[in-house]
Structure 1
Amino acid sequence: MTRSKKSKAWYKEPWPWFLMAGPAIVVVAAIYTYYLAQTNSVDLVSDDYYKDGKHINIELHRDEEAVKRDINAQVLINPDKNAAKVFVSGDFNRDESLNLVFMHPAKQSYDQTVKLIADSEMPNSGDKTEYKAVFKTLPPTQHWYVRVEDADGKWRVEDKWLVNQGNAVSLKAKQQWASASQPENK
């Protein structure tokens, strides 16, 4: 009995290709995952966490100073998210330069610091001073951290702005942070 049937070359058989498909798919998926990780990196961890940790007390001092001065701010952001009106009240020098800071919750590259410009058309209404700010359009996200501070770094007021709850955010001095940095008297 002779075999009349010739065997096919290995690359013409379906089984080797079927067995190699799994590892090939894993290699392609790994390359794609690496690509996604590189293009969508998130800045959640500071490069210099030790230096940032040393400045916590300095930051708390700024909150204490805002509490002492009773500084409050109201930020009204326009619907296009590229300009704002800011009303600041409290005991601060009206001639000093102020900054409006928008901090993205995950991407440091989206953060913006804008110098506030006093609105010369509107006189001070009571104890509030009105400022204007124009900035690059804010990228869409669920929330932003908003801060108003003096340019010298003496005080700050900040809070979280939930975008889906409107375009206004009230900033008050953080009393609980300011009192947390003071030692208890026994």
Structure 2
Amino acid sequence: MSEPKKSKVWYKEPWPWILMAGPAIVVVAATATFFIAKTNNSDLVIDDYYKDGKYINLQIERDQEAQKRNIQAQVLISPSNDAAKVFISGDFNPKEKINILFMHPARQADDQTVTLQAGSGGLSGDKYEYHAVFKPLPPAKHWYVRVEDADGKWRVEDKWLVNKGNALTLSPMEKLPEAGS
């Protein structure tokens, strides 16, 4: 007669450990994902949709005002992305404070707002000359550039594709919907 085989205790067998490794890895990965999501807040997520929806109507009114005043801006950005020359035409007060905004498409921390300074040339044809100096813009494929009055009455903006050159024209949006509709 043969002797019965002694079976190993379960924790000395490899298969239970291999089967438990899958769920253990998932728990560790989920914990890491939660930690990353909690510490790196995304600027792309909007917290208050209703408030932002009301704000959009205000923005449309600013675009319509720029359209009514026929305001346009030509922006020339230095090759080092740390200065700009801006030519603005249309019906606006050239003595009022005017800002230029560079908005990163994903990282709000990289956004910059700079007050334009009247250029030494003043009036050039039908355009007023301004200039701005700012921190060098971090590398990005594109930026949103906006020129607006400090009082928030009008704005012109467009997307700047960096690989297409350092000059862009900002115009009021075409075919705007009626504000409040």
* Superposed pair shares fold, TM > 0.5: yes
| 1:146 counterpart SS class | strand
Please tell me whether the aligned partners of residues 58 and 179 of structure 2 are also in contact (alpha carbons under 8 angstroms): no
Question: 2:32 corresponds to which residue?
Answer: 32
Hey, what's the Cα distance between the residues in 1 that align with 2:122 and 2:24?
70
SS of match in other structure, 2:143: strand
Distance 1:6 1:171, change over 3 A: same
Q: How does 1:97-176 map to 2 (within 5 A)?
A: 97-120=97-120, 122-176=121-175
Deviation at 1:73, TM superposition (A): 0.6
**Number of residue pairs aligned between Structure 1 and Structure 2:** 180
The amino acid that maps onto 1:181 is E
Range 98-107 or range 42-51, more displaced: 42-51
Instruction: Give, in whole Å, the separation in 1 of the partners of 2:96 and 2:160.
Output: 25
Note if 1:20 corresponds to 2:20. yes
Alpha-carbon distance, 1:57 to partner? 3.0
CA RMSD of aligned residues (A): 2.4
Instruction: Give the TM-score normalised by structure 1.
Output: 0.82
Question: Does structure 2 conserve the Cα–Cα contact (< 8 Å) formed by 1:75 and 1:85?
Answer: yes
8 Å Cα contact 1:72-1:173 kept in structure 2: yes
Task: Report the Cα offset of residue 12 of structure 1.
Answer: 2.7
Stretches of structure 1 lacking an aligned partner (at least 5 in a row): none
**Residue 116 of structure 1, CA deviation:** 1.0
% identical equivalent positions: 66
The Cα of 1:40 is off from its aligned counterpart by 4.7
SS at the partner of 1:32?
helix
CA distance in 2, matches of 1:9, 1:48: 57
Amino acid at match of 1:15: W
Q: Matched residues in 2 for 1:82 and 1:58: separation? A: 30
SS in 2 for 1:74: strand
How many angstroms does 1:99 deviate by? 0.5
- TM-score normalized by the length of structure 2: 0.84
For the 8 Å contact 2:63–2:156, the answer to whether it is kept is yes
- Rounded Cα–Cα distance in structure 2 between residues aligned with 1:72 and 1:88: 6
Amino acid at match of 1:66: A
Question: Structure 2: where are the runs of 5+ without partners?
Answer: none
CA distance in 2, matches of 1:38, 1:141: 25
Q: Aligned residue for 1:55?
A: 55
Number of the residue aligned with 1:68: 68
